Structure 1
């Protein structure tokens, strides 16, 4: 009979053994779960939001029987350790003002027992809206050059606003047109290129985001490279007296779009004088026009004048013919008093030439040069103080050259020759 039920007894024994092991496992696993839950009091008993707005208040109250804990806060702005006060973690305002992901890690006895993530969202854009414009000026060349306006909207805690926050750009162009663009933020910023137009002037830039306004910005659109221009003269007194001046001015110097060049553009004026000498004068534009006063030459003849900008933008050439201001003059020298008298200096209309005209006197030997000013139609010079001997005196004025031989016996010598 034993042999008959032997296989049933072994089956029952195996069944009891499996049931016992299962009961043992369930009993101890239940204790472990209970123990772990007791070490995680607040995360299961207190629900925390998945996000909050910057500036919100947050605190975590621990149960009275909670073990001694510390809370580690990690964010993109830094790391903080919090200890509870009266069984409560109070989050600092400085932490809650900063947008971004905030990680909470609860420790007890250096063991991590709970963790949580909260996202701090930024508020709406606040004033003043930060805007940056560069460059400050561009050439008005129909879109070849551009500047850029950039806005960085932030909330009142200086947190960048959320992605795709709309930003409105308004441009008041020199042509009088108003352009409006709505550009959402991306990678914390919103920007718009400002392409040049053909008219010079100021582009006024306005930026707004939600209720936040930015400061007004100005973009200066300046003229481009100048084109060829003309020069002309007026107020001419066409006598070579080296005293009067005539006015030279340019036409309005423009770029290829018809804009007058910027004030202060340098214009170089090349002059070939009546004596063949060359010189260069400069002037600067005001309102697109450069003006210059040029002194009449001392020698009759043709003065050639041209102008250029940057060496390659050239004007026409003016040829101005000057007549003799004084056709002839007398020279006398008194050997006893050693006085030299030049004159009278009679002008083209039968008048004494203006006071202050310069007469050049050269004493030989030694070639000492003196300048004598005309007064009341005469230039007078006393040579008593000059180093002796003086053998010859050369007088030059208005292209006329005369000389006196002081070794002559005569007390007074009159020289009327135009050339030696």
Structure 2
């Protein structure tokens, strides 16, 4: 039912009014948060008034003494807390007073030795004629750091022994005699060592494995040191003995910047480079060795051997490499992996792997079950490869007998005879495929005495028409059979 136009206009007018009220209410709410302090005072005025009047509403009821003592006690408590906090934050002030030292004018002389052998005692004597019984700080400075020794001038002379921690480390030391904050004398000391003091030879020889051919090398690094582990000075002589097979050599090395090194390049033959070192004062080292391994192998050949050419799935074919050598005639290292790649007549790719023993890698591969042709090639990945080898396998049988029993629910396959009329070896696979009502089942069994029997139970294979396919040794037979219910 359609309402009159006047009623519809009235309804639309009311809706506009409601919408306008909602819009104005939202605007009012957005601005109302500015008035919240006044709203808080208005709502909570009684509580605020009570809090403000609480300390004074009963003040007139107090005695005159209480009226005076109350405020004064609060004042004294605040003053006490202020003093305690101030005292706790104060720190003791240290007033720096620069100490003034008396100046003396006289010639200062160093009578100490400027050079000392490492580990030896060093007597120090300084003449300070105008300094009498005053404390002197002696500052030793070097690359290791700074050390301060305190001594006293007695009768114008300072005498002491240099500490061992200084004379046990070689290097140049700068000496300053400090009177107060001023250096009154500068001196120097040099701690040295000599080749006759060599006590041990630090050495490294490596890498321990290099390749033949003369391009690869092992480096011998030598650092002769004394009893305090100080390196020897430059031009210290080291005698190095080298041995390779029947070859012996002697090399002379000299240190430079505390270190001596020599490169020992590989030979064309494999073997071990052995080195040892000795010094002029009779210090020797244990021998150090570096093994020379064969260089990259060169291409090689492969050959095959087998008992027969028939695809019986039982015999194995042996694939053997020639002796694999590098370009210098060295037999490659034992354990080098050789990868055999096999491509069948149908295009399938097979793989076999073998490790070398005395340069030869042998792989054994089982014969196929069906007539086939293989192309075999061997690789040492990225380094060398062999020739291609063709192997043909002949069919071992051309027919196999079948016998059906018990309403076709037992199928006897065999006996299957081989190429010489002998029975096939045990373990030959025979596959039966059954198709019924759109479903396919596959059963694989293995021969024993060249025979195998398939038993088709009715709770697995109900009665009906079946398409059957038997496969073995590349031979296939297809037939249709009706399976009936088993008789009890």
Q: Please, what TM-score do these two structures have when normalized by structure 1?
A: 0.81
Q: 1:401 aligned to 466, 470, 476, which one?
A: 476
* Greater Cα shift, 59-68 or 177-186: 59-68
The 5 A counterparts of 1:334-353 are: 334-336=405-407, 338-353=409-424
Structure 1 residue 137: Cα displacement? 1.8
2:445 matched to which residue of 1? Answer: 372
- Seen in structure 2, the aligned counterparts of structure 1 residues 97 and 403 have a Cα distance that, compared at 3 Å, is same
The answer on whether the counterparts of 1:84 and 1:90 sit within 8 Å (CA) in structure 2 is no
Structure 1 residue 337: Cα displacement? 6.4
Structure 1 residue 276: Cα displacement? 4.3
Instruction: Measure, in 1, the Cα distance between the counterparts of 2:287 and 2:220.
Output: 11
Instruction: Measure, in 2, the Cα distance between the counterparts of 1:257 and 1:390.
Output: 72
CA displacement 1:256-305 (0-9 Å, x = unmatched) = 10111222322221112355422122222222111111000111233221
Q: Say yes or no: does 1:188 pair with 2:258.
A: yes
1:218 matched to which residue of 2? Answer: 289
Three-state SS of the structure 2 residue aligned to 1:352 is coil
2:334 matched to which residue of 1? Answer: 263
- Seen in structure 2, the aligned counterparts of structure 1 residues 51 and 396 have a Cα distance that, compared at 3 Å, is same
The 5 A counterparts of 1:379-390 are: 379-384=452-457, 386-388=460-462
The answer on whether the counterparts of 1:128 and 1:215 sit within 8 Å (CA) in structure 2 is no
Higher RCO by CA contacts (8 Å cutoff, separation 6 or greater)? 1
2:145 matched to which residue of 1? Answer: 78
* Number of residue-to-residue matches in the alignment: 370
The 5 A counterparts of 1:69-148 are: 69-84=136-151, 88-124=159-195, 126-141=198-213, 143-148=214-219
The answer on whether the counterparts of 1:254 and 1:261 sit within 8 Å (CA) in structure 2 is yes
- Seen in structure 2, the aligned counterparts of structure 1 residues 382 and 274 have a Cα distance that, compared at 3 Å, is farther
Instruction: Measure, in 2, the Cα distance between the counterparts of 1:311 and 1:54.
Output: 58
Three-state SS of the structure 1 residue aligned to 2:272 is strand
2:60 matched to which residue of 1? Answer: none
In structure 2, runs of 5+ residues without a counterpart are 1-103
2:466 matched to which residue of 1? Answer: 391
Structure 1 residue 69: Cα displacement? 0.7
- Seen in structure 2, the aligned counterparts of structure 1 residues 274 and 325 have a Cα distance that, compared at 3 Å, is farther
Three-state SS of the structure 2 residue aligned to 1:94 is helix
Structure 1 residue 151: Cα displacement? 0.7
CA displacement 1:370-411 (0-9 Å, x = unmatched) = 2201111202221215344561221111111112312389x9
In structure 1, runs of 5+ residues without a counterpart are 1-33, 412-420
1:357 matched to which residue of 2? Answer: 428
Q: 1:56 aligned to 104, 114, 120, which one?
A: 120
Instruction: Measure, in 2, the Cα distance between the counterparts of 1:390 and 1:251.
Output: 59
1:209 matched to which residue of 2? Answer: 279
Q: CA RMSD in A?
A: 2.6
1:295 matched to which residue of 2? Answer: 366
Q: Say yes or no: does 1:232 pair with 2:303.
A: yes
- Seen in structure 2, the aligned counterparts of structure 1 residues 186 and 402 have a Cα distance that, compared at 3 Å, is same
Q: Say yes or no: does 1:251 pair with 2:325.
A: no
Structure 1 residue 48: Cα displacement? 1.8
Q: Say yes or no: does 1:168 pair with 2:239.
A: yes
* Greater Cα shift, 206-215 or 177-186: 206-215
1:20 matched to which residue of 2? Answer: none
Three-state SS of the structure 1 residue aligned to 2:187 is strand
- Seen in structure 2, the aligned counterparts of structure 1 residues 110 and 290 have a Cα distance that, compared at 3 Å, is same
- Seen in structure 2, the aligned counterparts of structure 1 residues 232 and 57 have a Cα distance that, compared at 3 Å, is same
Q: 1:200 aligned to 270, 281, 288, which one?
A: 270
Instruction: Measure, in 2, the Cα distance between the counterparts of 1:62 and 1:127.
Output: 35
Instruction: Measure, in 2, the Cα distance between the counterparts of 1:217 and 1:82.
Output: 46
1:27 matched to which residue of 2? Answer: none
The answer on whether the counterparts of 2:199 and 2:283 sit within 8 Å (CA) in structure 1 is yes
| Greater fraction helix | 2
Three-state SS of the structure 2 residue aligned to 1:368 is strand
Instruction: Measure, in 2, the Cα distance between the counterparts of 1:110 and 1:242.
Output: 101
Q: Say yes or no: does 1:323 pair with 2:398.
A: no
Bigger Rg, structure 1 or 2: 2
Structure 1 residue 157: Cα displacement? 0.8
1:150 matched to which residue of 2? Answer: 221
- Seen in structure 2, the aligned counterparts of structure 1 residues 376 and 128 have a Cα distance that, compared at 3 Å, is farther
Three-state SS of the structure 1 residue aligned to 2:453 is strand
Instruction: Measure, in 2, the Cα distance between the counterparts of 1:386 and 1:253.
Output: 58
